[in-house]
Amino acid sequence: MKDLLKSFVYAFKGIFYCIGHERNMRIHLCFTAYMFGFLTVHDFFEVSRVQFAVLVALCALVMALEAVNTAVEKTVDLETKEKNELAKIAKDSAAGAVLIAAIGAVAAGIIILYQPDAFAAMVDYYKENIPVLIGFIISFVASLIFVFAGPQGIKEFFKKHVK
């Protein structure tokens, strides 16, 4: 049982490493959080349980492949620091796998979530609830900072500017 718990700890360390060091993982995480926020907190979209499950599975697949991509990149870097055609192929192929899954996930998301009435309802909701709109804008800006600066960049900023 102890070994099982250790394996979960190591798995979570890997996930947090990817979030902390891989911008694309943070992009996937933020898109996923917003999408499921809109699907679960608000009742704008009509999505069946099967469609919801498909969206969950595709988001999980994209993020899992991003973690595998990171593992491939780090393993290749461990093996060689010099320019190597095989190393490049391994890294590019792993990144390509993520891209294929991400394109498929976006396509499925568009097919499932393209509901013009839902988007119109969202616009009306935010027009009528300005404080909620402001909260959304603040969270979106915070997400952009999280994605592009990363946890380390945010930490450095506060160390430098907040005393």
* CA–centroid distance for 13 within its chain: 16
Residue type, 55: L
Measured CA to CA, the distance from residue 23 to residue 1 in angstroms comes to: 34
Token representation of residue 77: 């870097």
Measured CA to CA, the distance from residue 149 to residue 163 in angstroms comes to: 20
Which amino acids are annotated catalytic?
66
Measured CA to CA, the distance from residue 69 to residue 56 in angstroms comes to: 20
Give, as one character, the DSSP assignment of residue 84.
Answer: -
